[in-house]
Structure 1
Amino acid sequence: MTIFERAFGTDFARLHPRVRRRLGLGTASGIGMLGHGVMDRIWRGPVYTAPFLRLGTTRHILFPEQGENVPFTIENYPYIDSFGRETVSFVRTFELPGKRRRFDAQMVFDPVSGRIVDYLGTHQHVATELRLSVREDGGFRLSSGEFRLREGPLRTVLPARVSGTATVNEWFDEEIGQFRIQVEVANPRFGPVFGYHGRFDATFVDQGVSGAVKPLREKVLW
């Protein structure tokens, strides 16, 4: 079983067939997915959130730029990481005017909690467990739990007032024949901090994982 089949359990069958295929990536098949589309809007919170978002650019997590009709690519490849974990890459690239930004994540299944753990950035120094649910339209919704940080000797749980919550909604839109996605990162003190929404096509490819989507450093935070 793939990591999402394990995490959703019997609910996996309730997903739209196109969504099931998208989330059914595993090393047993060797199939990856490339998504190409457009983010209708990328936004951020008030100006005082910009320094925090700019800090995220150093490790491909968040960024402060905003835009409309931004070309977008997502790369989902299954592979086995250096700890022997079945992993699926979620590497998103945004072609902003004169600047390319990335938002990297690698997802693994934690057999203890029965949930997906989302490792963020190029160095996997931050991770969170994901809460998954199936939407009425056969799409899925995921939201982050507590964020854990490991940097050098430091290991800690980030307070919610510092980290906030990330929420993702994704579904297949039959009318346009594309996937739609909505992402929002919010903080309990500052409110909405960052987000984007748009659409993309999915192409399934039979090829090995590209080293360009793997993190520079892998860690275990769970």
Structure 2
Amino acid sequence: MTIYTTLLGEKFQQLHPKLQHRYALPLGQRFFATGVMSQIINGGRWLYPFYCLASKANFLFPESGQEIPFSIANRCAINPDGEAEVAWERTFYFQNAERKFNAKMTVDLERKLVKDFLGDIPFFYSDLHFDVTKEGFLFITSGVQKVMFGKMGITLPDIFRGRVTVLEGYDDQRDVYTIHVSIYNAILGRVMMYAGEFEESVH
């Protein structure tokens, strides 16, 4: 068992079979898929300096657009701390730029959540809560968030947190995975939203 099957326990069997396949992720195996984001929208222009800085660490980015090709790769391995860790690499192929949104996830069984370290440095951390909808979709919401300085983190007050919601499903009629991600802040409004679909492929 790897981190998502361990975390969700019996609920894992309630996921759509294709999502069970996607999130089983045995150690050393890889999931790779390609698809199209029907829409990617970031926040206001005044956030542009922040997006540019974040893009240096392969976190957020300043581009928006429609019908943007993308790929996603996941692999589970044992990290230097001896924990099972899933690496996420999302790549968005804009007309004038290639942007990545990377992360590494481990599980905290005591608190029953996923620890999500965002970016390649990384400089941002978020608790993630995983659940399964009655339709068999995976529903993810964020909790405590921190700005990281090495292994030390400063917890962000609620008002400064990015409220993350993720809904991932599978469309049986079209044989595609579906994804909708929203990051929203109480002060800034929308920080980023993207929605699209993808298919597993050999890479």
TM superposition score normalised by structure 1:
0.86
The alignment covers a number of residue pairs equal to 203
One of 26, 30, 38 as aligned partner of 1:40: 38
- 1:3-152 superposed matches below 5 A: 3-27=3-27, 30-152=28-150
Structure 1: unaligned runs, 5 residues or longer: 206-222
1:183 aligns with 2:178: no
- Relative distance call for 1:125 and 1:49 in structure 2 (3 A) is closer
Distance 1:75 1:158 in 2: 29
Return the alpha-carbon distance in structure 1 between the equivalents of residues 7 and 202 of structure 2. 22
Shift of 1:114: 2.1
Separation (CA, whole Å) in 2 of partners of 1:10 and 1:145: 22
Distance 1:43 1:95 in 2: 14
Identity within the alignment, %: 31
- Give distance in 2, aligned partners of 1:153 and 1:93: 26
Question: What does the per-residue CA deviation read over 1:41-89, in whole Å, with 9 as the maximum and x for residues that have no partner?
Answer: 1111222222222221011110110111111000011111111110111
The one-letter code of the counterpart of 1:130 is L
Q: Is the 8 A contact 1:6 1:114 kept in 2?
A: no
| Segment drifting more, 144-153 vs 93-102 | 144-153
* CA displacement, residues 115-153 of structure 1 (integer Å, 9 cap, x when unaligned): 111111101232111111112221111011111222158
CA distance in structure 1 between the partners assigned to 2:60 and 2:158 by the alignment: 17
RMSD, aligned α-carbons: 1.6
Counterpart CA distance in 1 for 2:147 and 2:164 is: 16
Q: Which residue of 2 aligns with 1:197?
A: 195
Pairwise CA distance, 1:204:
6.5
Deviations 1:129-187 (A, max 9, x none): 11111122211110111112221585310223323211111000111100010011100
Deviates more, 1:173-182 or 1:123-132: 123-132
Match of 1:168 in 2: 166
SS in 1 for 2:201: strand
Residue identity in the other structure for 1:122: D
Return 5+ residue gaps in structure 2 as ranges.
none
Assess if the C-alpha contact under 8 Å between 1:44 and 1:66 holds in 2: yes
Q: TM-score with structure 2 length normalisation?
A: 0.94
Measured in 1, the distance between the counterparts of 2:37 and 2:75 equals: 21
